[in-house]
A and B are shown apart, each in its own frame.
Chain A
Amino acid sequence: MFPGSFPVGVSKPCKWVNLKNTSVTTMPVKAIKTISSARNGVGAFILQCKRLDFHYCNFGGSSRGMLSFLTKDLAAFAREHPQIEIRVSPRPAKHPVIKGHYINGHEKAICVRNLEPSEIMKKTNILKEANGEKLKRTKKPVTSLNESVRGIWSPYHGDLRGV
């Protein structure tokens, strides 16, 4: 120890004194119980769209593109994306609709009346790639839970450069 310095904690205990009243704590560190938070895509990636419902009408003219899409393109789409459950059901006397159901419990619907099959495919892809959240503007391209490697700037640390 340096001369004139003061130790931080308790000084050395006297061996000959029977320290009866000293509380013996076996666990000086207590732990805080939390749960780890998910980072989708860091390890495994879970596609957030879990179900797509395709509704069509056999009679209405606005469903013509949809019917063509269902008969020609949907099978290939389903094969490419096995992680999405696909349901096709008629909705007579209504415009055709695609509904996406997401893992966060939300659902999004796009009306595809009078659209061509290629346009419907685009809409389907929009629903597939969405994560179920409301659309919002992202200002920063990357968000991370990790701490900054350089740390948070502090006015009390670091050397001042000679001016």
Chain B
Amino acid sequence: MAASITMPKRPFLTLPFLLPSLTESLSIGAVRHQSSYRRTKQRLRVKPDASFGPSQQGRDQIIYNPPSSAPSVYHTPSKFLPANDVRRVMRPAAAATATTDVNELPSVYKTQPERKYHLTPEDVEEIRKLRLNDPMTWSRYSLAKKFECSPLFIAKVCGASPEKKAIQKQVLEAVQSRWGPKRRMAREDRKLRREAWGRDE
């Protein structure tokens, strides 16, 4: 269980109760006896946060315990505050408070394609010509492969001809006509879910 969790903020060694004890074998550890239960319970008995206790210096202090909840959208990030806003000065800098380096966090994407910016205006003209004259051979993906760019870039540079669009529409209809009610509903639900993201529901 523990191995599948990627928790950079929570070092594995800080959770010693998850580690198999040296004195017990793993098969015994799976059964929870009264003795082991009490030991685990004792370790889980967390002391209250230091900021809750009486101040060491005897001065007034602000108790700041950020709740374990998703951040509120009404709390403007420091970077988004205008230059003349007082809160910019009052808040500590992000680098000072950050517990982990952003660079160390894993990326959302598996691969990161390199951006080359190598295409010239002549290339773009060529792309347009190919796509317009022979749309069946030169699809977006084949053009992207030929010119070593993304299909999105091809779409930005030129659109498909109306004939090709009509053909593509027919193909799509043919495919969709074979869908049964289950698949159709699943696709529609997926689309609705996708729209719900934008409303933050």
Contacts and interface: CB of A to CB of B under 8 A. Distances in A.
The reply to whether A and B meet directly (CB within 8 Å) is: yes
A11 B115 contact: yes
A100 B178 CA distance: 64
Nearest to A152: B69
Contact of B156 (A17, A152, A157): A17
A4 B199 contact: no
A21 B112 contact: no
Interface residues of B, number: 38
Contacts of B77: none
Interface string A3-23: 011100011011011011110
B16 interface: yes
B158 to A, nearest CB: 6
B17 interface: yes
A2 interface: yes
B67 A153 contact: yes
Interface of A: 2, 4-6, 10-11, 13-14, 16-17, 19-22, 32, 147, 150-163
Main secondary structure of the interface of A (DSSP, over half): loop
Given A6-B113, A13-B156, A158-B69, 15 more contacts: A6-B107, A6-B109, A6-B112, A17-B156, A32-B199, A154-B69, A154-B70, A157-B68, A157-B71, A159-B9, A160-B7, A160-B9, A162-B14, A163-B15, A163-B43
A21 B103 contact: no
B155 interface: yes
A163 B44 contact: yes
Contacts of B9: 159-160
A10 B9 CA distance: 30
